[in-house]
Amino acid sequence: MEKLNWAALLFLCLIGCKDEPLGHRQFLFLGHPYQWGTDNRVDPRLEQMDFSSYEGIWLGGDVCARTAKDPATMDYLDSVFNLERTHWALGNHDWDYGERENVLSRLPSPPYYTVWEDGFCLTVLNTNLFWPYPSTPPQENCTDKMAQWQMVQNVADTISEATHWVILHHHALFSDLMVEPQGGDTLRAFNVNPTPFFATCDSLSELTATWYPELVRARQRGVEVVCIGGDFGMRAKQFEFQTPEGIWLLGSGINNTVSREYAPDYVTDFGPDHILELWYQEGRLEWAFMPLGGD
């Protein structure tokens, strides 16, 4: 597939958001699937899986521990997942620790984009562009940061006939909105829950304050909004939360190749690993956390 810039991909989504005959379609989301102790391998259980029943593989980032270190790693990942049929929200382990171009040159799409998926719109974010510290955001990657933000605004402005807006990301989004059902402390489900997040180089671009209202605006027009994060597995293997405004926040991650004897203190969940399966049919999006097996 020829690489397109984000504006072209967004245009394809917007002109295609119309009613079409829909059939049963199945997708698989994988977060944090790397094999501990290696730079360039995924969990061995994934190597043995048959992905042929899935229309697409959605990768939630940190696919390998050092994805960008060796160009051959992308050849390996292509042999496992067939990268042309993936949507990949890059994680920090994919973005750092090597030559970034080793990854970017092999992606079938830009690092952030929106596409039409025959019934719903799918946005893939690059959360590595965000600034997860309380200090003023550095004046770097400002063009990409602003373009990603404008992409989200454009979708919120124009999405109408799509039944769902699915947003794939790596780092925690809107974690300050995830509170205990009884109104207690913020739920700490992601591997890292930084607050605040600054989305652009503007010090007034705190993520929840600026982006979340755009999602709510789409929801108020009848579009279901589902955010799926992949920085999971160390503190929780799965997560499902709906905000009072009706926005779904999901998370799924794999982590059990870590040695329990030598696991870092920040790894606290050794329960069974799960993968997230999703089905789309006749305007309905459903999902389930399925055990990966072998634990």
Per-residue confidence of the chain (295 residues) as pLDDT tens digits?
Answer: 233 344 434 433 443 343 333 458 999 999 999 999 999 999 999 999 999 999 999 999 999 999 999 999 999 999 999 999 999 999 999 999 999 999 999 999 999 999 999 999 999 999 999 999 999 999 999 999 999 999 999 999 999 889 999 999 999 999 888 877 666 667 788 999 888 999 999 999 999 999 999 999 999 999 999 999 999 999 999 999 999 999 999 999 999 999 988 898 989 999 999 999 999 998 999 999 999 987 7
- Global confidence as pTM: 0.91
Domains of the chain, start order: 27-291 (3.60.21.10)
Beta strands in 243-273 (DSSP E): 248-252
Taking the alpha carbons of 78, 79, 81, 85 in that order, is the dihedral positive or negative?
positive
Q: Which of 168, 169, 185 is nearest to 177 (CA)?
A: 185
CB atoms within 10 A of CB 76: 16
- According to DSSP, the β-strands at 25-30 and 274-281 are antiparallel
* Whether the Cβ atoms of residue 228 and residue 250 lie closer than 8 Å to each other: yes
- Return the pLDDT at 3: 33
- Return the pLDDT at 183: 62
Phi-psi region of 77 (alpha: psi -120 to 50; beta: other; left: phi over 0): alpha
Tokens 């027009």 label which residue?
221
* Whether the Cβ atoms of residue 35 and residue 254 lie closer than 8 Å to each other: no
Cα separation of 157 and 265, whole Å?
44
- Return the pLDDT at 1: 29
- According to DSSP, the β-strands at 248-252 and 238-242 are antiparallel
CB atoms within 10 A of CB 143: 10
Go through 215-231 and write b for each residue having 16 or more CB atoms within 10 A of its CB, e for each that does not.
Answer: bbbbbeeebbbbbbbbb
Taking the alpha carbons of 239, 284, 288, 52 in that order, is the dihedral positive or negative?
negative
Residue type, 147: A
- Return the pLDDT at 23: 56
- Return the pLDDT at 21: 37
Helix residue spans in 17-71 (DSSP H): 44-47
> What share of residues in the chain are helix, strand, coil (percent, to 5)?
25, 25, 50
- Return the pLDDT at 179: 79
* Whether the Cβ atoms of residue 31 and residue 230 lie closer than 8 Å to each other: yes
Q: Which of 90, 128, 91 is nearest to 107 (CA)?
A: 90
What string of DSSP letters covers 185-247?
Answer: SBP--SS---S--B-SSSTT-BHHHHHHHHHHHHHHTT-EEEEEE---SSS-SEEEEE-TTS-
- Return the pLDDT at 248: 97
CB-side exposure of 9: number of CA atoms within 13 Å? 24
